[in-house]
Amino acid sequence: MNGRANNFICVFQRISLLTAFCLMLVMVSCGKKEDPRWAEAQKKAEQQLDAKKEAIKEGTMPKPQEGGGFNKFFPAAGDGFERVASQEKEGFSEYKLKKGGKEVAMLAINDIAANPSAADKFKSSTRMIGGFPAVDQGAMASAVLVANRYQVKVLSRDPSFTKANRDAWLAKFNLQGLSTMK
Amino acid sequence: MSKTIVELTDELPSSGMTVRLLQGLDFLVPGQWTNLTGFENTITTVTGETDPEMIRQIGERAIYLYNDSEQGYQRAVWLYQTANSMGGKLGAAALANKIGESVSFLSFLEKITPQADNAQMIDFCLKLTAEVVAYYKINGIPGDGMGEFMAAVGDYGKESIMRLAALVTLDGLIPLGPDFLRKVESTMSGLDFSSNPVFNAMGNLIPGSDKLGFVGNAFHSMKDWMDNFVSSRGITAEGVVGNLKNFIEVSDDRLDYVAGFLDMTTNYFDYTGVQTVARRLVERAVAEI
């Protein structure tokens, strides 16, 4: 009887352990489950990159400008603001704007040749800066679309840098010069 | 591609040896480093945006940019991981070598393990090289002219300045002593890089045909900065280990063992490397959407 009981306990313990292990696996796999938004974005990115390769091969996508070509259109430092180069890639250039050593905003120009959907938001633009359509985007960014090709953006990084500051700095870019860039 | 940027950032832990180590080094660069983990959290922290639709758009663009291998972000992560991958092995080698020095019957180890200092100097130089190459991969060569570029490099902050602080102290000052820069400089030409697997793995990404020359240039370009970093802050190995003891159980009587121990049990280099890449990626993504 004791032997049977021991066997039962033993089997029961094994089943319990197995169940616990399975539960643990389920919990771990649930915990690691990727956010569907990002899983979807990953798939979309892979498809877009395949399409980009194809478009480049067929010559149907304009080659984005070199980021360094944009630098001369950025506003100069001044009024207590310091400007520090941050990132420069194909079709993209970005500077930090600092005041008193603190990062308060980012200034950026990008060529939307490789990302044309960025132009969509300007269709509902109700204002102009320097003669070009302007929009606010989210809580921290304002942007201008130049020559339907170049997006100029100012992004607040500190609450002290307001929407009015963003508009003022957007107007300081050499937007006309940028519009003639070929 | 191995892991996605979502996986890399989501897998950064909120606690553990590396996090404690970095907390223990915070006093070197006060207020610069916060443990930035999680993909969505990175987006909201970097951009200040909380609107779900904005977060989705930024995330989507960041994922696209990371996937595009020509943009350099993947290569930067690979460099940080590769330069760090020797850490554990070198740490083990350093320990084995110390045993070799003090225990006679194991003295044969001297023949098959490198001198601890040389192994450490190679590790130090290769991490510096990885840092320089990864900088170019992530940021390009920003600014017009040398002045703006130097200002950009000098503006190292947040995770990047923490990584350099850790590199200088954990891979330089603590294992090699207060004259570590002079030691590396005078020994560099005699170091055997060519049989080092990390050096060989990194080879394709090191610009130019003179790969060893680039490693030397990487060291020389950062030597003055590192020298100034240590001297201007009055940093000593004892001071650093003394502070680390508040976060990690280490003994300060054998600094070379402490360095080996930290080398084997932490991965500060690729940990902060992923944080740097994620931050730059998000900074660009929000500007491009």
Q: What is the pLDDT of residues B15-45, one digit of tens each?
A: 888 899 999 999 999 999 999 999 999 999 9
Strands of A102-111's sheet in order across: A81-89, A92-99, A102-111, A150-156, A141-146, A132-137, A127-129
CB contact under 8 A, A118 and B6: no
Mutate to test the interface with A, among B47, B58, B137, B281 (most CBs of A within 10 A): B47
CB contact under 8 A, A37 and B72: no
Select from B66, B74, B134, B7 the least CA-distant residue to B288. B66
* Cβ density class B222-261: b for 16+ within 10 Å, e for less: beeebeebbeeeebebebbbeebeebbebeeeebbbbbbb
pLDDT tens for B180-218 read 999 999 999 999 999 999 999 999 999 999 999 999 999
Which pLDDT belongs to residue B235? 97
CB contact under 8 A, B283 and A84: no
Domain boundaries, chain A: 2-58, 67-179
Which pLDDT belongs to residue B142? 87
As a whole number of angstroms, the distance between CA B102 and CA B106 comes to: 8
Which pLDDT belongs to residue B201? 93
As a whole number of angstroms, the distance between CA B238 and CA B217 comes to: 30
A132-137 vs A92-99, strand pairing mode: unpaired
Mutate to test the interface with B, among A88, A104, A169 (most CBs of B within 10 A): A88
**Chain A residues with beta carbon closer than 8 angstroms to that of B286:** 141, 155
- List all residues of chain A from 54 to 93 with a beta carbon under 8 Å from chain B: 67-68, 71-72, 84-90, 92-93
Question: HEC string of chain B?
Answer: CCCCHHHHHHCCCCCCHHHHHHHHHHHHCCCCCCCCCCHHHHHHHHHCCCCHHHHHHHHHHHHHHHHCHHHCHHHHHHHHHHHHHHHHHHHHHHHHHHHHHHCHHHCCHHHHCCCHHHHHHHHHHHHHHHHHHHHHHHHCCCCCHHHHHHHHHHCCCHHHHHHHHHHHHHHHHHHHCCCHHHHHHHHHHHCCCCCCHHHHHHHHHCCCCCHHHHHHHHHHHHHHHHHHHHHHHCCCHHHHHHHHCCCCCCCCCCHHHHHHHHHHHCCHHHHHHHHHHHHHHHHHHHHHC
Q: Give the other-Cβ count within 10 Å of A149's Cβ.
A: 19
As a whole number of angstroms, the distance between CA A56 and CA A51 comes to: 9
Measure Cα distances from B278 to B6, B39, B130, B155, B275 in Å: 9, 8, 17, 18, 5
Going by the DSSP 8-state scheme, the letter that residue A173 receives in this structure is S
Chain A contact present for B143, CB below 8 A = yes
CA of A30 vs chain B CAs: smallest distance (Å): 14
Which pLDDT belongs to residue B112? 31
Closest CB from B51, B60, B71 relative to A89: B71
Q: Give the other-Cβ count within 10 Å of A33's Cβ.
A: 9
Q: Token pair for residue A153? A: 């953006």
Q: Give the other-Cβ count within 10 Å of B118's Cβ.
A: 14
Is the CB of residue A146 less than 8 Å from the CB of residue A179?
yes
The stretches in chain A having pLDDT less than 70 are 1-33
CB contact under 8 A, A155 and B286: yes
Is the CB of residue B148 less than 8 Å from the CB of residue B142?
yes
The stretches in chain B having pLDDT less than 70 are 1, 86-115, 253
**Chain B residues with beta carbon closer than 8 angstroms to that of A92:** 284, 287-288
Could you list the beta-strand ranges (E) of A20-177.
81-89, 92-99, 102-111, 127-129, 132-137, 141-146, 150-156
Helix, strand, or coil (residue A69): helix
Chain A contact present for B110, CB below 8 A = no
Is the CB of residue A129 less than 8 Å from the CB of residue A175?
yes
In this predicted complex, what is the ipTM? 0.85
Select from B261, B181, B246, B223 the least CA-distant residue to B27. B246
Select from B55, B20, B57, B61 the least CA-distant residue to B41. B55
As a whole number of angstroms, the distance between CA A48 and CA B69 comes to: 13
Chain B contact present for A116, CB below 8 A = no
As a whole number of angstroms, the distance between CA A9 and CA B39 comes to: 46
Is the CB of residue A93 less than 8 Å from the CB of residue B149?
no
Closest CB from B54, B59, B151 relative to A84: B151
CB contact under 8 A, A138 and B143: no
As a whole number of angstroms, the distance between CA B259 and CA B87 comes to: 10
**Chain B residues with beta carbon closer than 8 angstroms to that of A108:** 284, 287-288
Chain A contact present for B6, CB below 8 A = yes
As a whole number of angstroms, the distance between CA B5 and CA B77 comes to: 9
CB contact under 8 A, B71 and A68: no
Chains A and B form CB pairs within 8 A to the count of 119
Is the CB of residue A90 less than 8 Å from the CB of residue A64?
yes
Is the CB of residue A150 less than 8 Å from the CB of residue A81?
no
CA of B176 vs chain A CAs: smallest distance (Å): 33
Chain A contact present for B71, CB below 8 A = yes
Chain A contact present for B139, CB below 8 A = yes
Q: Give the other-Cβ count within 10 Å of A118's Cβ.
A: 21
Q: Token pair for residue A37? A: 């938004």
Please tell me which residue of chain A has the smallest CA distance to B39: A38
Q: What's the CATH class of domain A67-179? A: alpha beta
Q: pTM of the prediction?
A: 0.87
**Chain B residues with beta carbon closer than 8 angstroms to that of A153:** 287
CA of A16 vs chain B CAs: smallest distance (Å): 30
pLDDT tens for A40-91 read 999 999 999 999 888 888 888 888 899 999 999 999 999 899 999 999 999 9
Chain B contact present for A110, CB below 8 A = yes
